[in-house]
Amino acid sequence: MNRIDLSGQIAVVTGAAQGIGLAVAKRLAESGAKVASWDVAGENEAAMAGLGGGAVAVRCDITDWDSVAAALAETKLKLGPVTILVNSAGIAGPNALVEDYDIAAWQQIMAINLTGAFLINRAVIPDMKAGNYGRIVNIASIAGKEGNPNAAAYSASKAGVIALTKSLGKETAGFDIAVNAVTPAAARTRIFDQMTEEHIGYMLAKIPRNRFVGVDEVAAMIAWLVSKENSFTTGAVFDLSGGRATY
Q: Considering the candidates 101, 133, 154, 247, report the single residue annotated as catalytic.
A: 154
> In the Cβ-directed half-sphere of 171, how many Cα atoms lie within 13 Å?
14
Handedness of CA 70, 72, 73, 77 (dihedral sign): positive
Let me know: does 112 contact 139? Beta carbons within 8 Å.
no
DSSP run (H or E) holding 43: none
- Going from the C-alpha of 104 to that of each of 67, 154, 160, the distances in angstroms are 22, 13, 18
Assess whether 154 carries a catalytic annotation. Answer: yes
CA 164 from centroid of its chain's CA atoms:
13
In the 8-state DSSP scheme, what is residue 232? S
CA–CA dist 12, 52 (Å, integer): 15
Handedness of CA 77, 21, 140, 192 (dihedral sign): negative
Beta partners for 240? 184
- At 200, phi and psi to the nearest 5? -60, -45
Let me know: does 227 contact 5? Beta carbons within 8 Å.
yes
Find all residues with CB under 8 Å of 32, minimum gap 6, and list them: 5, 6, 7, 8, 9
- At 98, phi and psi to the nearest 5? -55, -40
Q: What is the set of active-site residues?
A: 154
